[in-house]
Amino acid sequence: MKKITVLILIFCFMSVLSYGQANDENFTPTGKVFMRIFTNVHSTISNGNVASAFELDRAYIGYDAQLSKQFSGKINIDIGNPGNGSAFEMTAYIKNAYLSYTNTRFSASFGLIPTIQFDQQEKTWGYRYIEKSFQDAYKFGSSADLGFSANYKFTNWLDASLIIINGEGYKKLQSDSIFKAGLGITVKPIPNLMLSGYYDAMGSENTQNTLATFISYRFDKGSFGAEFNQQNNTGNISNRTLSGFSVYATAVPSKKTRVFARFDQLTSNTLPLGTANWNHSKDGSLAMAGIEYEPVKGVKISPNYRLWSPADQDKKSTHFIYLNFEIKY
């Protein structure tokens, strides 16, 4: 079923591309191939032991097409480590395959689409090749899924977004009757200041719901962002709550150099009759800081330090020293 769904999406994408080329005589369709590669070398220091490794985290390759003045399409293949402990195995997924419509105030997308749950947070954080944004990193939701989204810009300072998706992410395209519906609102009361709120719900029994709030400010030489997130009935399991916050900032001392820092705190609740938080083994805090250098357009290099402090007092903190690279074309 998953393969059939993806093949249908690809067929629709190519059909619309051909249709757009044949039916808008006053517009010349354009398109481009894109590629992004995330790789790193790092050392992990824990309990007095040091382990070092090279990693190819992820590679994206795809095609962006402007089909007409209003219609565009995108297909994006995500090649990454499946997370099963193998340093040599890579798995490929189709992350995006969608059609978009845009006019002055309204836009909509259908297919394997980017989700709206943490898109603003990820843009403000700005270092996806180094680390995922909070909700993505701690599995509050997926960055892409099969479904429909729409956005309406009421004024220059107010817009709202609606999304209806499968809810399991682009790696688990499901065919059941459970969907996730979400609503986001963004307010820009003054230049460079942004406030946003997001809420979603999934499932009818033990409904999982997620609330996310976010504030950011951009200035000439940097940016700042802070977010708080809470998820109730995580995984549609009654009484499970997952919550946390993330704050991050960037300073730009020169055209090719950025300095950044971030702090995350993740926590869960104790279930009835339980003796510890249900996510105790994964709860904790992350502190990180580093420098990004862009020697040429499309290449970024970042030496950075990270400290993971587990909530479990029986476990010791883990130190990480990273050298991350992004190649973008």
User: Strand 299-310 relative to strand 318-328: parallel, antiparallel, unpaired?
Assistant: antiparallel
Query: Whole-angstrom Cα distance, residue 147 to residue 325?
Result: 32
How many domains is the chain built from? 1
177 forms bridges with which residues in the sheet?
none
What's the token pair of residue 234?
A: 């995580």
DSSP string, 114-179: E-SSSHHHHHHH--TTT---HHHHTTSS-SEEEEEEEEEEEETTEEEEEEEE-SS-TTS---SS--
pLDDT for 3 equals 46
CB 260, CB 287: distance < 8 Å: no
Each residue's pLDDT, cut to its tens digit, for the chain (329 residues) gives: 444 454 455 555 555 545 554 456 678 999 999 999 999 999 999 988 999 999 999 999 999 999 999 999 999 999 987 765 555 678 999 999 999 999 999 999 999 999 999 999 999 999 999 999 999 999 999 999 999 999 999 999 999 999 999 998 888 876 667 899 999 999 999 999 999 999 999 988 899 999 999 999 999 999 999 999 999 999 999 999 999 999 999 999 999 999 999 999 999 999 988 889 999 999 999 999 999 999 999 999 999 999 999 999 899 999 999 999 999 99
Task: Give the DSSP letter string of 254-313.
Answer: ETTEEEEEEEEEEEEPBPTT-SSBTTTTT-EEEEEEEEEEEEETTEEEEEEEEEEEES-T
Long-range contacts of residues 148-153, Cβ cutoff 8 Å, at least 24 apart: 148/108, 148/109, 148/110, 148/113, 149/108, 149/109, 149/113, 149/114, 149/115, 149/116, 150/106, 150/107, 150/108, 150/109, 151/106, 151/107, 151/108, 151/116, 152/105, 152/106, 153/104, 153/105, 153/106
Residue 308: give its domain's CATH number: 2.40.160.10
Question: What is the pLDDT, as a whole number, of residue 15?
Answer: 52
> Are 260 and 127 spatial neighbours (Cβ–Cβ below 8 Å)?
yes
With a CB cutoff of 8 Å and minimum separation 6, the contacts of 5 are: 146, 173, 175
**Residue 234: how many CB atoms within 10 A of its CB?**
22
What is the pLDDT, as a whole number, of residue 40?
97
Note down the domain range covering 201: 2-328
Distance between CA 262 and CA 251 in Å, rounded?
Answer: 12
Q: Which two tokens stand for residue 57?
A: 């985290």
Cα–Cα distance, 61 to 317 (Å, whole number): 36
247 sits in which H/E element: strand 241-254
At 233 the pLDDT is: 97
